[in-house]
Amino acid sequence: MADPINSEELLKLVQEKQITAIQRIEDRAVKAATEKRFKAIDDAIGSATSNWVKAFGSMSAEGTGSPLIEMIRSALGASNSALKGLEASTISALSEAVGVAVTTAQAQGSAFVEGASGKAAARRVDVPAVSLSEERAAVKAAVADGLKESKALLKKSVVERLGLRGILGGLRRARNALGRAKSTIANSVNENVTKTMRATATANKADFEVWVAERDACVNCLKYAGQIVKKGEDWTGGQSWDPNQVDKKAKGVRPPLHPHCRCRPVPWNPAWAREGEVSLPEAISREAERSVARGFSLASESNASRVRALKELLSGSPNFPKTVLERARRDLRNGEFARGRAVP
Ligand SMILES: [Zn+2]
């Protein structure tokens, strides 16, 4: 018999411990499959520029003759070797990572259910079999595109016309392919975790799922935070706290909502809510609103978007303590978050 834990603690468990643990597994796999390759291509990008200046005088100078041929050859070599065997190393890193992620997610699901329900979690969870065939195809396509695109740029006639930009462009196409492999790894780990969570919901007779977002999630993900759907169904697509990003025609969605999204659905059963206490979905949406009010976000998200989200939130008269409300209104007037946007 487990003890139920309160909604805030439960949310912390998911956000701080569980999501972070999965993120570590994902990071490890990304590192194993791509770190050296990224470094090699970044080194090549760096040395291409300095070699160009050395050979031709300046970055904007035209390249000619045998030094140009040599530079093209070395860029092609760097691009080929960065992508060579990428499919195999991605799949090998992923097989290990997904296995660990599914086992971890099973343990996380049980801990979550016990915390939420106060009862022992189901022992048997029918976790769907893992297949990496889509991932393999995605990385294969990324490699093929990367090689084709970089080859198309790394040609004498093209580099004579584009100069150093042609060389760098060619190398960057190879780099993009590495980026695609990285996203494939991240998505695959997270999708398998999500599937495991859904199986956990089934095993524990939880007929609903609730969306959990990170504290520094984007304004779109924060809109979904705390929303409930019937198990396996989609959430209404195109939602956002930022009115400029709302898309009424969007199709239904499930997490991950975008690359690097670490949102996850967790099982939910309304019977788990306790009389007189804040329920988990309420705690989640409350926290998301605080996140919007506070401007918590990654640096990659624009300030303008966070400010529009804040305006939208305040127009709905959220249930905030007076001090929070005052600060949020002041930030809105000033068009920036006085205490910065980073999550402490
Ligand atoms: Zn997200």
Ligand 1 centroid to 186 CA: how many Å?
Answer: 13
Could you report the per-residue pLDDT of 317-339, keeping only the tens digit for each?
Answer: 888 899 999 999 999 999 999 88
pLDDT band, residue 109 (cuts 50/70/90): very high
> Could you tell me the end-to-end alpha-carbon distance of the chain, in angstroms, rounded to an integer?
35
- What proportion of the chain, given as a percentage, has pLDDT over 70? 99
Ligand 1 centroid to 221 CA: how many Å?
Answer: 5
Q: How far apart are CA 121 and CA 1, in angstroms?
A: 9
Q: Does residue 344 carry a pLDDT above 80?
A: no
Q: What is the pLDDT, as a whole number, of residue 333?
A: 95
Q: In what order do the strands lie in the sheet with 264-268?
A: 228-230, 208-212, 264-268
Average pLDDT, the chain: 93
Q: What is the pLDDT, as a whole number, of residue 2?
A: 65
Could you report the per-residue pLDDT of 198-221, keeping only the tens digit for each?
Answer: 899 999 999 999 999 988 899 999
Ligand 1 centroid to 58 CA: how many Å?
Answer: 44
Ligand 1 centroid to 241 CA: how many Å?
Answer: 13
315, burial (CB in 10 Å: exposed 0-12, middle 13-18, buried 19+): exposed
Q: What is the pLDDT, as a whole number, of residue 4?
A: 76
Q: What is the pLDDT, as a whole number, of residue 60?
A: 94
Ligand 1 centroid to 15 CA: how many Å?
Answer: 12
Q: How far apart are CA 33 and CA 184, in angstroms?
A: 11
Q: What is the pLDDT, as a whole number, of residue 155?
A: 96
DSSP 210: E
Q: Across residues 165-178, what is the average pLDDT?
A: 97
Ligand 1 centroid to 252 CA: how many Å?
Answer: 15
Ligand 1 centroid to 227 CA: how many Å?
Answer: 13
Q: What is the pLDDT, as a whole number, of residue 174?
A: 97
Q: Does residue 1 carry a pLDDT above 60?
A: no
Greater model confidence, 83 or 2? 83
Ligand 1 centroid to 62 CA: how many Å?
Answer: 45
Query: Would you list the domain boundaries of the chain?
Result: 7-203, 210-334
Ligand 1 centroid to 235 CA: how many Å?
Answer: 13
- What pTM value is reported for the model? 0.85
Ligand 1 centroid to 264 CA: how many Å?
Answer: 8
For the beta carbon of residue 271, count every other beta carbon within 10 angstroms: 10
Q: Across residues 300-314, what is the average pLDDT?
A: 94
Q: Does residue 297 carry a pLDDT above 90?
A: no
